[in-house]
Chain A
């Protein structure tokens, strides 16, 4: 079953808002729940309150939009079954719900919420009969200028216009994911090979220039349909990430390719451990606003983990067993008592503890997944390693954010011919308290080379052909002599493509496993297909078969 990591989200006040002493009018949120049939569901949302004094309460409008949308989604999914992965009828019902029923519920709940907020927080305002104007366009034009805005603050009747906001929402389930909303948010998908594509944007024909669709419009519910979609996920889907952002992010980039590159980096693709989080994410968004549009910036990022990596599967199992929805337990390390969080701003400078908590507690990377099932490890070896779990040789900071680097370590260990027992003694398999080993350079070199080749696939075969002799040599050599520990890392620094070749030739693993490793390390399909990883390679005798020549053990004389 596919499994989503916990989304991260962050909203930052834009540089121009700081300068003009305006609040952050963006908001973002994420939450987790269970469907009626016990499947885990994640939801994330961003909202952008309109600027200007006509919309002087839009910071609250955007926050309420995220809050209510999440509450509605999680309540609804707890009452429904997701069905089986191949249940097309169910998916069509969910698609209709995303584009029609949910929008109606969201707009209605939002109007109720802002009315309640108005009555709770604007006690001095005059309240003429029938003042609950249901839509933006019915509002009086007062307040279009700064001076008029100050006039409007005193004695202004309640109007949804004051709270005007966009809303973008993504719902993620094991079988499908879908998006809905209205306004000028953007949704980007970033695949495991780093390819990013803009999946959804507000069409220019609907809202040109700086104008956008809004929850405060009379026909708001009907405007969701154009931004709604539902996307099935295959049973063994490759990892990918979704980045939902308010317009401040895209408008800060010189071009769409820059925006997609930035989205890839923010989403941590292909390596999620390299994604900025917490204070780093907040600081990055600040920089983006400062050097870009100056607007508020919000992002919410979800990631589909590899199918074999399940986060807290016991939750779903427990719920499925009981046949009734259950409340999810708070994430480890989190002191939240609820299953959703909403932030209007994640202050880095003013509230560093809060920001760190926000992002660190939302990280999608569960360090245990690498300890349980890391790429590059054969089954038996993995089990033995996990069972022995030696203490780290050197204490260090938490490496939980470096599973990709640790994966390289794992591959290195395998390739270096260190037997299971030796592996356990020399280099501990990744776990939360494991030390960070010096593989960053090698890892970076590998990934840079992969990016370079994948951006120009026509060059791959030419570059491989130049190493044909090397490939042939290794194919022969590795049945008699194995590289020494550290050889792969050194090779990666010296000739990253040679290191990719070595990984693809790893005789300890079956072809499918080698391919998985290549994918996991960031090779695009073009590179994988070109590498000499074909099943026709001379098969090395496996440890289980011979129990004489364990892969790589002989090579360092052990």
Chain B
């Protein structure tokens, strides 16, 4: 009997940028640097996607300023994505952005067999709307709980506590496996984070480090998320996807990658 007419499918990997487009992003070339970093990361992400045919990397982007809007609304194969520049202006509706994403992280429209999505929140400031309500809405979604959530703080004015809440609480009981980024519990951290860790907001102090973080998220993270190895429940506590280490230049504060401009 011939092979049945069943739909075999590689697993979609949804990669979502949540980009702060508030007015402060216009200063010191941050908006330009962000657009440049994302655009430059796309070929690398496409290469990773080609190397992992079992995953179908689909990119979307949300911009938030006065309102949160889909900048790339349709899940777009990375090799077909033409990045249109974001424009800065307005306040920081971060909570609304989370709600916007939450609406897309239920099944459907998410596929049953999707890989844990990757959410990358990039901000240089503080939310001006009800961030907690947005986060609560987001974390009600099973897919958000499973997601790899990364946060990049552009400059030193970014609200690290808010970004940490987005990532999730860092487990205190067990040491962090090198290079692993947790899925979040959705709970607020018990204490302010200190030091550098991939489980904490990644601080980009200039265009170069921003580009490195974006590149890392769009290649190393995507690569790891494309073929997540099955693992034990304990090993996965607070960590859905085992990821390779961050580049040493990023993790090591003494190895600065450029002038501090933000």
Residues 87 to 139 of chain B near chain A (Cβ within 8 Å):
111-113, 116
Q: Most chain-A CB neighbours within 10 Å: which of B146, B233, B244?
A: B233
CB <8 Å contact, A136 and B232: yes
Whole-angstrom distance between the Cβ of A266 and the nearest chain B Cβ = 9
CB <8 Å contact, B6 and A258: yes
CB <8 Å contact, B234 and A137: yes
**Cβ of B232: which chain A residues have Cβ within 8 Å of it?**
50, 136-137, 161, 164, 211-214, 216-217
CB <8 Å contact, A254 and B231: no
Q: Mark A205-247, 1 if CB is under 8 A from B, else 0.
A: 0111111111011000000000000000000000000000001
Binds B, one of A110-118, A144-152, A301-309, A321-329: A144-152
**Cβ of A494: which chain B residues have Cβ within 8 Å of it?**
none
CB <8 Å contact, B8 and A292: yes
Which one, A16, A141, A206, A251, contacts B233 given CB within 8 A?
Answer: A206
CB <8 Å contact, A147 and B244: yes
What residue in chain A is nearest B243 (Cβ atoms)? A145
Residues 231 to 247 of chain B near chain A (Cβ within 8 Å):
231-236, 240-245
What residue in chain A is nearest B54 (Cβ atoms)? A294
Asked if A209 meets B236 with Cβ closer than 8 Å, knowing A16-B52, A291-B10, the reply is yes
CB <8 Å contact, B1 and A265: yes
A51 to B53, CA, bound (A): 18
A262 contacts the other chain (CB 8 A)? yes
B260 contacts the other chain (CB 8 A)? no
Which one, B4, B11, B53, B142, contacts A261 given CB within 8 A?
Answer: B4
**Cβ of B54: which chain A residues have Cβ within 8 Å of it?**
15-16, 292-295
Which one, A214, A253, A274, contacts B9 given CB within 8 A?
Answer: A253
What residue in chain B is nearest A259 (Cβ atoms)? B6
**Cβ of B7: which chain A residues have Cβ within 8 Å of it?**
253-255, 258
Could you count the A-B residue pairs with CB atoms below 8 Å apart for me: how many are there?
167
Which one, A20, A144, A217, A291, contacts B8 given CB within 8 A?
Answer: A291
Main secondary structure, interface of A, reads: loop
Whole-angstrom distance between the Cβ of B186 and the nearest chain A Cβ = 13
Whole-angstrom distance between the Cβ of A152 and the nearest chain B Cβ = 11
A456 to B235, CA, bound (A): 47
Asked if A261 meets B145 with Cβ closer than 8 Å, knowing A50-B231, A209-B240, the reply is no
A154 contacts the other chain (CB 8 A)? no
A208 to B54, CA, bound (A): 20
Residues 5 to 36 of chain A near chain B (Cβ within 8 Å):
15-16, 20
Whole-angstrom distance between the Cβ of A20 and the nearest chain B Cβ = 8
CB <8 Å contact, B9 and A16: no
CB <8 Å contact, B242 and A211: no
Instruction: Number of B interface residues at 8 Å Cβ cutoff, please give it.
Output: 44
CB <8 Å contact, A52 and B231: yes
Residues 1 to 49 of chain B near chain A (Cβ within 8 Å):
1, 3-11
B180 contacts the other chain (CB 8 A)? yes
Whole-angstrom distance between the Cβ of A13 and the nearest chain B Cβ = 13
CB <8 Å contact, A292 and B10: yes
A184 contacts the other chain (CB 8 A)? yes
What residue in chain B is nearest A54 (Cβ atoms)? B235
Asked if A141 meets B177 with Cβ closer than 8 Å, knowing A16-B52, A255-B7, A294-B10, the reply is yes
Q: Mark A34-65, 1 if CB is under 8 A from B, else 0.
A: 00000000000000101110110000000000
Asked if A145 meets B6 with Cβ closer than 8 Å, knowing A217-B234, A254-B113, the reply is no
**Cβ of A206: which chain B residues have Cβ within 8 Å of it?**
233
Asked if A251 meets B178 with Cβ closer than 8 Å, knowing A52-B242, A212-B231, A291-B8, the reply is no
**Cβ of B52: which chain A residues have Cβ within 8 Å of it?**
16, 294
Which one, B111, B142, B227, contacts A208 given CB within 8 A?
Answer: B142
Whole-angstrom distance between the Cβ of A256 and the nearest chain B Cβ = 7
A184 to B228, CA, bound (A): 14
B168 contacts the other chain (CB 8 A)? no
A147 to B246, CA, bound (A): 12
**Cβ of B180: which chain A residues have Cβ within 8 Å of it?**
141, 144-145
Which one, B9, B183, B235, contacts A136 given CB within 8 A?
Answer: B235
Q: Most chain-B CB neighbours within 10 Å: which of A258, A287, A288?
A: A258
CB <8 Å contact, A254 and B111: yes
A51 to B9, CA, bound (A): 21
**Cβ of B192: which chain A residues have Cβ within 8 Å of it?**
none
Residues 373 to 424 of chain A near chain B (Cβ within 8 Å):
none
CB <8 Å contact, B178 and A142: yes
B193 contacts the other chain (CB 8 A)? no
CB <8 Å contact, A256 and B231: no
Q: Mark B48-75, 1 if CB is under 8 A from A, else 0.
A: 0000111000000000000000000000
Residues 517 to 537 of chain A near chain B (Cβ within 8 Å):
none
A537 to B46, CA, bound (A): 69
A368 contacts the other chain (CB 8 A)? no
Q: Most chain-A CB neighbours within 10 Å: which of B145, B177, B230, B231?
A: B230
A254 to B146, CA, bound (A): 19
A265 to B2, CA, bound (A): 9
**Cβ of B241: which chain A residues have Cβ within 8 Å of it?**
210
CB <8 Å contact, B231 and A253: no
A252 contacts the other chain (CB 8 A)? yes
What residue in chain A is nearest B113 (Cβ atoms)? A251
CB <8 Å contact, B240 and A251: no
B158 contacts the other chain (CB 8 A)? no
A194 to B92, CA, bound (A): 56
Q: Mark B140-171, 1 if CB is under 8 A from A, else 0.
A: 00100110000000000000000000000000
A284 contacts the other chain (CB 8 A)? yes
Whole-angstrom distance between the Cβ of A444 and the nearest chain B Cβ = 8
Q: Most chain-B CB neighbours within 10 Å: which of A207, A256, A275?
A: A207
A144 to B177, CA, bound (A): 6
**Cβ of B233: which chain A residues have Cβ within 8 Å of it?**
206-207, 211-214, 217
What residue in chain A is nearest B7 (Cβ atoms)? A254
Whole-angstrom distance between the Cβ of A108 and the nearest chain B Cβ = 18
**Cβ of A212: which chain B residues have Cβ within 8 Å of it?**
230-233
CB <8 Å contact, B240 and A210: yes
CB <8 Å contact, B174 and A141: yes
Which positions in A face B, CB cutoff 8 Å?
15-16, 20, 48, 50-52, 54-55, 135-137, 141-142, 144-148, 161, 164, 166, 184, 204, 206-214, 216-217, 247, 251-256, 258-259, 261-262, 264-265, 268, 271, 274-276, 284, 287-288, 291-295
13 pairs from A and B in contact (CB 8 Å cutoff): A16-B54, A137-B232, A141-B175, A142-B177, A146-B244, A161-B232, A207-B236, A208-B142, A208-B145, A211-B233, A264-B4, A271-B1, A295-B54
Which positions in B face A, CB cutoff 8 Å?
1, 3-11, 52-54, 111-113, 116, 142, 145-146, 174-180, 183, 227-236, 240-245
